[in-house]
Every structure is written in C-alpha cells, then in structure tokens.
Amino acid sequence: MANEDSAEITLDATGCRCPVPVLKVEAALRRMAVGDRLLVMADDPIAAVDIPHFCRSAGHSVERAPDRRGACVFLVTCGEK
C-alpha cells in the first residue's frame, strides 16, 4: 500500500515492441521500494495483456488507467519481492 513516502515513477515504453515493455517494467520494479508506484505507458497491443499478467504473477498490483496519446496506461504498485 502506498504511503506519503512512496515515489511515483513514469515509464514511457511507447514505440517498444514485445517483450521490451514488460522487460522495462520488470527492471524498473526491481529498483523500487514496496509501495512505490510506476505509471507505465505502452502502445504495443500485446502490452495490454502482458504487463498486467507479469505484474500480478510477480506480486505487484496493477490497474488500468485512462489511455493517453494512443497508449495504454497502467498504474503498478510495487509489491513484496
């Protein structure tokens, strides 16, 4: 759960094709503390499925946010590693 000390980082993976968006999300989450949030933008249609699947299977929470500039957007909260 996010608290006032949590950070929010933006990751723009637009223009990247599978599996690069998920690899970028994984790399970013490894550097983050539990409760930090990652705002991810990706325009690869497969990312709309792969990013939530990866996040949930790795123990992070993920929710879809309103799309921006033709990209799907996710808000990922870093879970226990």
Buried-state track 41-72, b at ≥16 Cβ within 10 A, e below 16: bbbbeebbebbbebbeebebebeeeeeeeebb
Residues serving a catalytic function are 18
> What is the spatial distance between Cα 16 and Cα 19, in angstroms, rounded to a whole number?
8
